[in-house]
């Protein structure tokens, strides 16, 4: 059969079956999408396979639709794995979507090549929103696309921050790309569609049903190289996105917060289960980005004078007083060194400009005088 | 030589040498404490060993002290490894103390048998103090002794919480057990000494010098089965306690906080380095306590109706509406099941009291009606 046949079969199948239907997946793995659709259109009987005649219940409505016309009407395009724009990273999914409806100017495979999913609680706190914004602005500055689910709370904060910093962002919806949900985010979703991409495996017009939210999360995890949960209650759907990322072998990250916050409990539980604790964009980029280019600076306190000295010198230097002098014997006793070692250390410190010999002994040079 | 000789030698050595002096440790490992002290008292020359004559500088003052009299005067006792009260866990240290001065009614080896070190920033925040208090009260309730360093901030909050909940607490000081430092914590240290234990390797009267604070941290880590850092800046001394705990193979834990708080940066860095993230006493006890007795309950959200159903039943149940009915065909289509599967699932839900058949179809039973 032709590629056009496979495309048509996939789009039709997306109207007939949910993508995580194990029995359908099994038949596709054995016979291919076109053969499966052929069986369903006939009578649902697969030679030696499971009974799929129940898919027939949707055939009439599904075949009545002109998908090209639908695509034109909603301003979307439909991708199948054979298309150059199909992101290869989705093929890692145990249940890849049959096809993807995509609306927006970005090219999906390219924009997700360097991307992070940032997800979290709908009932986020001000802390969560603020951390999400900082994280996403930082990641956009490092050239990452922000993938999320356009939900209230963390998702919306992630998309907004990406848009505000002129970054690229991808919203993966549970319903059709033309069904703005939640309604209150309609304007946000519209802005994403104008500059980034709105994506769904549900055909246009499809309702954002509960099962589809859970199924959608696997696509969020599948598109990005890593997923960060910013805030999540223990039962948050965001944790299912992290679970998918873990199963896909992608980077799994969570942002800590107050142990008193219910909205951080899910993040803390994930860190205890092995998710990497991240506190800023540099740490995310270090994990997700390419080795070398994105190494996060090691966090350390302000450099103190004497920090880079060998142990013995630092010990002597720390015992010296800045405004009164100490005799060599006193220094020797305090540092537990021999006289020769003590004198040697004092001379070295003098050369470094960290100590000076006065008439009555040795004194530490003021910090910063070096 | 006699055990009395070893005891005297150790106490004398604690006045002559710092315990982390590698060369002294080396001679002790080869020749024993008594021989080393003998060499020092003679001329500091060790046959085939390093030159230790510098220790001689302290001999005169050290030998002039009557340790029994000192102990009586400050109300302390001095322990050496041969004593039954000496905690065997200290022998894991690379540089164990020569001896330990101990003041208080507790028996050191017994009170630390089930103990957690809780340490952190001196400049703690209200969040850190509050989390420390909750954690320590919880741990005391589980029979743990709280070990800390009597410093400002987290240390003081830990001791105070233990005292307030009539628990046992051990303060390890950098100076002598009779030198209350910081001065502002004198009353706290006195209360610890009356009900728990105040411990130091520094002889009475010894100043809490900077090097001794760092050395003291290894004893805190060495006494407890695990160390928790609640809040710590990146350069906090509390991190050195955690480092010792890690080197000793003890449990290493840190409490998360806001990513905006400088005082949580050290804790987050430790978690990124492998410390276990802990949010309450149950999680600490699970790690540190005995397997079985101290298993923390798995954190999960409130149980929802339908949670314990098999996948297929839950799917059908979720699609049913609570206040209007659905036809079997509608349920079948929505759930992607065969007619037989759908009917079977509906009957099962009916038996469980989770669905009921009305004249025009099936309806979900209200949550909690079961």
CA pair distance A331, A119, nearest whole angstrom: 58
Whether the per-residue pLDDT at B291 is higher than 70: the answer is no
User: What span, in angstroms and rounded, lies between the C-alpha atoms of B284 and B291?
Assistant: 12
CB pairs under 8 A between A and B: 107
Structure tokens at B347: 């009957």
- Phi, then psi, of A264 in degrees rounded to 5: -105, -5
Mean pLDDT of B300-325: 72
B312 CB within 8 Å of a chain A CB = no
């010990």: which residue's tokens? A315
CA A239, A243, A245, A246 torsion-angle sign: positive
Domain annotation for chain A: domains and CATH numbers: 3-65 (no CATH), 100-288 (3.40.50.450), 311-364 (1.10.10.10)
Q: Sorting pLDDT into bands at 50, 70 and 90, what band is B1? A: very low
Alpha-carbon distance of A331 to A334, in angstroms, equals 5
| Cβ atoms of residues B335 and B315 within 8 Å | yes
Going by pLDDT thresholds of 50, 70 and 90, the confidence category of residue A204 is: very high
State mean pLDDT over A32-42.
90
Distance CA(B18)–CA(B9), nearest Å, equals 14
Residue A318 and residue B211: Cβ atoms within 8 Å? yes
Instruction: Give the residue from B126, B179, B189, B200 showing the smallest Cα distance to B156.
Output: B189
pLDDT tens digits, A67-125: 889 999 999 999 999 999 999 999 999 889 999 999 999 999 999 999 999 999 999 99
Looking at residue A145, the DSSP 8-state letter turns out to be: E
Tokens of A332: 């020797």
**Do residue B339 and residue A210 have CB atoms under 8 angstroms apart?**
no
B21 and chain A in contact, CB less than 8 A: yes
Least reliable range by pLDDT among A189-198, A343-352, B303-312, B335-344: B303-312
Whole-Å CA distances, B278 to A95, A265, B148, B282: 35, 11, 18, 9
Q: Pick from A334, A103, A164: which is nearest to B17 by CA?
A: A334
How far is it, in rounded angstroms, from Cα B159 to Cα A103?
60
Query: Which of helix, strand or coil describes residue A308?
Result: coil
Report the C-alpha gap between A113 and A288 in whole angstroms: 11
pLDDT of residue B261: 96
Element (H, E) at A86: none
Structure tokens at A146: 């922000």
pLDDT, tens digit, 9 for 90 and up, residues A338-369: 777 888 888 888 888 888 888 778 888 765 54
pLDDT in tens, B222-259: 999 999 999 999 989 999 999 999 999 999 999 999 99
Asked if residues B332 and B362 have their Cβ atoms less than 8 Å apart, the reply is: no
Is B277–A299 a contact, with Cβ atoms under 8 angstroms apart?
no
The larger pLDDT score, comparing residue B56 to residue B291, is at B56
Q: Which residues 6+ apart lie within 8 Å of B95 measured at CB? A: B19, B20, B25, B215, B218
Residues 6+ apart with CB under 8 A from B17: A336, B24, B55, B98
Top residue of A52, A54, A132, A316 to mutate, by most chain B CBs within 10 Å, is A54
Per-residue pLDDT of A51-74, as tens digits, reads 777 788 888 888 888 888 999 999
- Which residues does B359 contact at the CB level (< 8 Å), separation at least 6? none
Sign of CA dihedral B165, B166, B170, B176: positive
Phi, psi (degrees; rounded to nearest 5) at B243: -60, -45
Q: Which of B45, B44, B63 is nearest to B55 (CA)?
A: B44
Contact yes or no for B61/B15 (Cβ under 8 A): yes
pLDDT score recorded for residue B268 = 97
Binning pLDDT at 50, 70 and 90, where does residue B292 land? Answer: low
Are B257 and A256 inside 8 Å of each other by CB? yes
The total number of residues shown for chain B amounts to: 370
Contact B51 A338 (CB under 8 A): yes
Instruction: Report the C-alpha gap between B179 and B185 in whole angstroms.
Output: 11
Closest chain B CA to residue A269: B299
How far apart CA A357 and CA A347 sit, in angstroms, is 9
Nearest residue in chain B measured CA to CA from A44: B338
Residue range B204-213: mean pLDDT, rounded: 88
Interface contact flag, A211 B131, Cβ < 8 Å:
no
Chain B residues in contact with A15 (beta carbon < 8 A): none
pLDDT one-digit tens code per residue, A290-338: 655 676 776 766 555 556 777 778 878 877 877 778 887 778 777 777 7
At residue A184, does pLDDT exceed 80?
yes
Residue B306 binned pLDDT confidence (cut-offs 50, 70, 90): low
Q: How confident is the model at residue A202 (pLDDT cuts 50, 70, 90)?
A: very high
Q: How far apart are CA A157 and CA A159, in angstroms?
A: 6
The strand ranges marked E within chain B are 77-79, 100-103, 115-119, 145-148, 169-172, 197-200, 226-229, 251-254, 276-277, 355-358, 361-364
Give chain A's length.
370
């Amino acid at each position: 059969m032709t590629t056009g046949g496979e495309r048509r079969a996939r789009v039709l199948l997306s109207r007939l079956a949910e993508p995580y239907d194990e029995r359908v997946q099994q038949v596709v793995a054995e016979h291919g999408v076109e053969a499966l659709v052929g069986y369903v259109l006939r009578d649902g009987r697969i030679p030696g396979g499971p009974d799929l005649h129940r898919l027939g219940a949707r055939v009439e409505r599904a075949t009545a639709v002109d998908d090209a016309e639908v695509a034109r009407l909603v301003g979307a395009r439909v991708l199948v794995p054979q298309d150059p724009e199909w992101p290869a990273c989705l093929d890692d999914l145990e249940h890849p979507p049959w096809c993807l409806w995509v609306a927006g100017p970005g090219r999906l495979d390219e924009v997700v090549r360097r991307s992070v999913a940032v997800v979290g609680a709908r009932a986020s706190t001000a802390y969560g929103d603020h951390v999400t914004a900082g994280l996403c602005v930082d990641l956009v500055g490092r050239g990452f696309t922000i993938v999320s689910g356009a939900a209230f709370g963390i998702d919306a904060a992630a998309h907004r921050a990406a848009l505000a910093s002129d970054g690229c962002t991808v919203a993966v919806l549970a319903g059709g790309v033309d069904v703005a949900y939640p309604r209150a985010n309609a304007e946000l979703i519209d802005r994403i569609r104008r500059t980034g991409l709105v994506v769904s495996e549900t055909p246009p017009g499809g309702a954002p049903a509960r099962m589809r939210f859970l199924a959608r999360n696997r696509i969020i995890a599948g598109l990005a190289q890593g997923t960060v949960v910013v805030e999540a209650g223990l039962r948050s759907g965001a944790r299912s996105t992290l679970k998918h990322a873990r199963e896909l072998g992608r980077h799994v990250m969570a942002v800590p917060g107050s142990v008193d916050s219910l909205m951080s409990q899910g993040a803390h539980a994930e860190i205890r289960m092995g998710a990497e604790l991240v506190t800023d964009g540099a740490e995310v980029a270090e994990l997700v980005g390419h080795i070398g280019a994105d190494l996060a600076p090691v966090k350390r306190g302000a450099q103190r004078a004497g920090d880079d000295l060998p142990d013995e010198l630092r010990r002597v230097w720390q015992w010296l007083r800045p405004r009164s002098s100490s005799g060599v014997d006193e220094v020797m006793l305090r540092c537990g060194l021999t006289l020769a070692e003590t004198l040697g250390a004092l001379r070295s410190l003098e050369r470094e400009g960290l100590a000076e010999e006065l008439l009555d002994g040795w004194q530490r040079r003021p910090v910063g005088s070096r």
